[in-house]
A = this chain, B = another copy of it.
Amino acid sequence: MENLSDRSRVILEAVIEDYIRTAEPVGSRSISRKHTLSPATIRNVMSDLEEMGFLLSPHTSAGRIPTDKAFRFYVDSLLTVRTIEKEQQDQILSQYKLHGRDVAEILKETSRILSSFSHYMGVVVTPRFNATVFRHMEFVKLGGRTILAILVAINGVVQNKIIETDEVISPEELVRMSNYLNELLEGLTIAEVRNRILLEMEDEKVRYDTMLARALNLSAQTLDENGTEVFIEGQFNILELPEFADVTRMKDVFHAFEEKNQLVTLLDRCIQSEGVHIFIGAENYLSRMEKMSVITAPYMTGNKTVGILGVIGPTRMGYDRVIPIVDYTAKLLSKLLDAE
Which chain A residues have a beta carbon within 8 Å of chain B's beta carbons? 100-103, 105, 135-136, 138, 140, 142-143, 146, 148, 150, 152, 154-156, 158-164, 225, 227, 235-236, 239-240, 245, 247, 250-251, 254-255, 257-258, 339-340
Rounded to whole angstroms, the CA-CA distance of A235 and B255 in the bound complex is 10
**Identical subunits present:** 2
Picked from B148, B236, B340, the residue with its CB within 8 Å of the CB of A258 is B236
Closest to A256 in B: B236
Rounded to whole angstroms, the CA-CA distance of A161 and B240 in the bound complex is 36
Once the chains bind, are A156 and B150 in contact (CB under 8 Å)? no
Once the chains bind, are B140 and A100 in contact (CB under 8 Å)? no
Q: What distance in Å separates the Cβ of A219 from its nearest Cβ neighbour in chain B?
A: 15
Given known A160-B102, A340-B143, contact A251–B236 (CB-CB < 8 A): yes
Once the chains bind, are B340 and A142 in contact (CB under 8 Å)? yes
Closest to A108 in B: B229
Once the chains bind, are A162 and B103 in contact (CB under 8 Å)? yes
Once the chains bind, are A101 and B236 in contact (CB under 8 Å)? no
Q: Please list 24 pairs of residues, one from A and one from B, whose beta carbons are closer than 8 Å in the complex, sorted by A's number.
A: A100-B161, A101-B161, A101-B162, A102-B162, A105-B227, A136-B140, A138-B138, A138-B140, A138-B150, A140-B152, A142-B154, A142-B156, A146-B156, A146-B340, A148-B156, A148-B158, A150-B150, A150-B152, A150-B158, A156-B162, A162-B340, A236-B251, A245-B247, A250-B250
Q: What distance in Å separates the Cβ of A176 from its nearest Cβ neighbour in chain B?
A: 14
Closest to A102 in B: B161
Q: Which residues of B contact A245 (CB under 8 A)?
A: 247
Rounded to whole angstroms, the CA-CA distance of A150 and B240 in the bound complex is 41
14 additional A-B pairs beyond A142-B152, A250-B250, beta carbons within 8 Å, are A101-B161, A101-B162, A101-B164, A102-B159, A103-B162, A105-B227, A135-B142, A138-B150, A142-B155, A146-B156, A148-B158, A236-B254, A240-B251, A247-B250
Rounded to whole angstroms, the CA-CA distance of A160 and B245 in the bound complex is 42
